[in-house]
């Protein structure tokens, strides 16, 4: 499975989701590659902060040839996660073309919901060339027991892209883990953050079966 994580709005938590999804997939014993296709290099920074054995491979590839190079770079891996750029560019288009599934993180904010329009248009464009391309929204940094947290799924229903049942709540553990180059399951394997990531992965794997 090749998962591209994209949203043209910055600050939606793409890298946090990317590293934790990759870590969750790696926990199963699968060989996982994380491609940092964001010129900011946040996933590479995460890997550099880590001490000890890597959970998975991380490479930087912030150029608009990801879809052409992924076959060679990703050879031998069971799963590939692409941390995409935060703007609509040729690089974003390339990351989408490389993916089997595009995951669009959206925070429960009207601004995020409006901004999702651009990446949905890119996915529609890519389907002209890649008919089987799948896509889904994932609600990230959800604040529990708030009206906007509950209503964001309804707001996203206006787009022709499904919304994952699983969502990710705003939790301090994500920042604590990132600062150490760790995944949340390494901090609290039985905690709610790890469980939410596992639920997202389970839904994504269901797309490709």
pLDDT digits (tens, 9 = 90+) for 67-114: 999 999 999 999 999 999 887 689 999 999 999 999 999 988 878 888
Domain coverage including residue 194? 2-207
The CATH number of whichever domain residue 166 belongs to comes to 3.40.50.300
pLDDT value for 123: 93
- 166-196 burial, b if ≥16 CB within 10 A, otherwise e? bbbeebeebeebbeebbbbbbeeeeeebbeb
pLDDT value for 22: 98
The percent of residues in the chain predicted with pLDDT above 70, rounded, is: 96
How many CB atoms sit inside 10 A of residue 14's CB?
25
pLDDT of 4 strictly over 80:
yes
Domains identified in the chain, total number: 1
How many CB atoms sit inside 10 A of residue 157's CB?
12
């Amino acid at each position: 499975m090749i998962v591209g994580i994209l949203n043209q709005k910055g600050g939606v938590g793409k890298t946090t989701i990317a590293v934790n999804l990759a870590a969750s997939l790696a926990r199963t014993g699968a060989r996982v590659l994380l491609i940092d296709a964001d010129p900011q290099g946040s996933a590479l920074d995460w890997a550099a902060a880590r001490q000890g054995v890597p959970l998975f491979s991380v490479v930087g590839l912030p150029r608009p040839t990801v879809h052409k190079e992924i076959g060679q770079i990703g050879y031998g891996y069971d799963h590939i996660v692409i941390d995409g750029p935060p703007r609509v560019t040729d690089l974003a288009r390339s990351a989408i073309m490389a993916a089997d599934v595009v995951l669009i993180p959206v925070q429960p904010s009207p601004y995020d919901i409006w901004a999702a329009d651009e990446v949905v248009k890119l996915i529609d464009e890519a389907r002209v060339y890649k008919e089987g391309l799948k896509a889904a929204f994932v609600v990230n940094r959800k604040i529990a027991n708030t009206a906007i947290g509950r209503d964001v799924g309804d707001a996203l229903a206006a787009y022709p892209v499904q919304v994952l049942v699983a969502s990710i709540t705003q939790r301090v553990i994500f920042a604590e883990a990132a600062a150490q180059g760790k995944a949340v399951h390494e901090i609290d394997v039985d905690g709610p953050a790890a469980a939410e990531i596992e639920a997202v992965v389970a839904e994504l794997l269901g797309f490709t079966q």
